[in-house]
Structure 1
């Protein structure tokens, strides 16, 4: 089943939101920046939905997810609920003919993610996953340098995504409950971003990996949990480039330390998400720090730059750029680099490979 943008014309894409937490706030702001009215919100209970609708400025709340996806005045549904609910809610929205933005992980298993990719294709709608770090302009600058051959032959990669919000034994969150968060936590939550960024910038997939994981504490009130605090990977890319990736939610002082470094035969590139205005370009005879500037940027980077040089852009700007591209796709355009449900499936495949490698202590082949 396919729906067009309903009644109001192609210039107005009306948003429904599932969830009322931090990510719902980010999604709501991005939808508004794209010119989309926030029509309705549903949450875990009608009371929570009503409170979140007031806080986020939705026109109304709905009793539950079923009522929201069935509403005739909603064109696109954003799924910002606990991980284990993503697949069912996204499928319900697709079945109703809605366009869908679903938070990662798209599903807690690759099989469920694959079914969602197929359902989106059958419905003929736009289905996207917010791997929004692609939308930092200096990430696009790095990608363009790789594509132009300026890096040379890719030799190695190094990356990390480090946080500290689960450092203490007393720190807890629903993500630490495998029933709500899924079998992988640190990797599925933030390692998926790191791997997506790596494959996006390098322009080639990880084909083999070996991983170790560590769960430092049993959380959830002392009950044992099955998902990891830390994951360390050695990876091989299709070209033969090798790399090391570290993912941790227990690195003191690291709040959102996403860093990617690529080493080629001609130059190296380093992007750090906490310094998103910069791209370090390393050379044997000298290095330079490129600063974001739409006047000198590659066109793929310049199109995302909504502020003049010297006026910092950050995470919400990247998210706004992502949602703007989703809306462009709804209108029939084909934005470069839009992360779709296929990319969400890719992340689920990698997460299962990481868990399998850690359990079996062996290399895992990963299909591209």
Structure 2
């Protein structure tokens, strides 16, 4: 595989690809000099000068797209056209129309194209989903939660994600709210039908030259108005009429990466907290229960994703490793359960567009469905 993009998430892809058994051949950064620096830092053989060099390298089976959002459609589309399999960071595109182009390209190419909605790969998420499938919760009464971070709380913090030209018109929702809705729809087996959203930008100006994501401070080269959202609230209804609510923020002090959701059913409730990923909270009318990750007792798919024994914590990096294990298995012709593909990226893009349209119009907005089949391929 080759990595396009040498930032934080590119490093995560690199480490997880190694752990999943891939041969990492090289890296492409934002300039030839930066590619050389990244290749030296990551100890890979090839520093690619441009995208064409990656696509013309016959040794490459899979291209990992870890670049700013506005580049995804061009780079992932070119990789698919060149016959490469693709792992493309989310959002896969800055509009649903462009995401549709990528989904169509993946299907036409018959290559595997996956999207790192990696929170699906927490074993206790799989445990919760298995209990949902078994009917343990009954009819849904309410689905609610939040995804909170604080890395943009300081007015001195910024990154390329703040700039709509690089990140797209939505920032907080496209970046992290997309994860929340992908996870909740998949675990609870629901489909969002319509949304009512309200956004807020709490920091009016930020430094104009943003650094990497999650850096504490940005370079001081003047300030520019912020036009992307810092936080938002979303109210929704599913196709079955279930009420859904979510709060998304990148300016909540002390919250580093708190993806939290609760599924309230007629018979039981279930809670997952990404910052406490080794357990589930289950609620019943007369008692509560905490279920811990234990491959000897958990559901099959939860046990399958448990890399270490109970009591040895695993978390985000293991999620990424398991996601890439399943991606590479799909390339070999297998069909892993729950693997998020470009169709899921398209679904997410539709939700992002609907949320932003609702916030702009201050009105309930329908979420279009997308039911394109997942492409099957192999090497």
Unmatched 5+ stretches in structure 2: 209-221, 370-379
Which of the numbers 82, 95, 102 marks the counterpart of 1:96? 82
Residue deviations 1:123-147 (CA, integer Å, cap 9, x gap)? 1000000000000000011111111
CA contact (8 A) 1:155 1:240 kept: no
TM norm structure 1: 0.95
Match of 2:22 in 1: 36
Q: Which residue of 2 aligns with 1:3?
A: none
Is the Cα–Cα contact under 8 Å of residues 46 and 64 in structure 1 kept in the other structure?
yes
Cα distance in 1 for partners of 2:120, 2:351 equals 18
Distance 1:173 1:28 in 2: 22
Structure 2 partner of 1:6? none
In structure 2, how many angstroms separate the alpha carbons of the residues matched to 1:232 and 1:193?
Answer: 15
The equivalent residue for 1:144 is 130
Q: CA deviation at 1:56?
A: 1.5
- In 1, the alpha carbon distance for the partners of 2:289 and 2:127 equals 14
Matches of 1:340 and 1:80, distance apart in 2? 16
| Residues matched between the structures, number | 354
With normalisation by structure 2, the TM-score equals 0.92
Contact 1:198 1:260 in 2 (8 A): yes
Name the residue aligned to 2:275: 274
The aligned counterpart of 1:198 is 184
Aligned-pair CA distance for 1:53:
1.1
Write the deviation string for residues 43-102 of structure 1: whole angstroms up to 9, x where unpaired.
110110111111122221110122112211100000000111111110110010000000
Instruction: Describe the SS at the equivalent of 1:30.
Output: helix
Q: Distance in 1 between matches of 2:103 and 2:272?
A: 30
Look up the match of 2:376. Answer: none
Q: Is the CA contact (8 Å cut-off) linking 1:43 and 1:65 kept in structure 2? A: no
Structure 1 residue 35: Cα displacement: 1.1
4+ residue stretches of structure 1 with deviation over 6 A? none
Alignment of 1:72-221 (within 5 A): 72-217=58-203, 218-219=205-206, 220=208, 221=222
Q: Where does residue 27 of structure 1 map in the other structure?
A: 13
Deviates more, 1:212-221 or 1:145-154: 212-221
8 Å contact from structure 1 (residues 38, 57) kept in 2: no
Structure 2 match to 1:262: 263
Once the two structures are TM-superposed, the CA of residue 204 in structure 1 deviates from its matched residue by 1.5
Instruction: Please report the RMSD computed on the Cα atoms of aligned residues, expressed in angstroms.
Output: 0.8
1:178 and 1:225 in contact (8 A); partners too: no
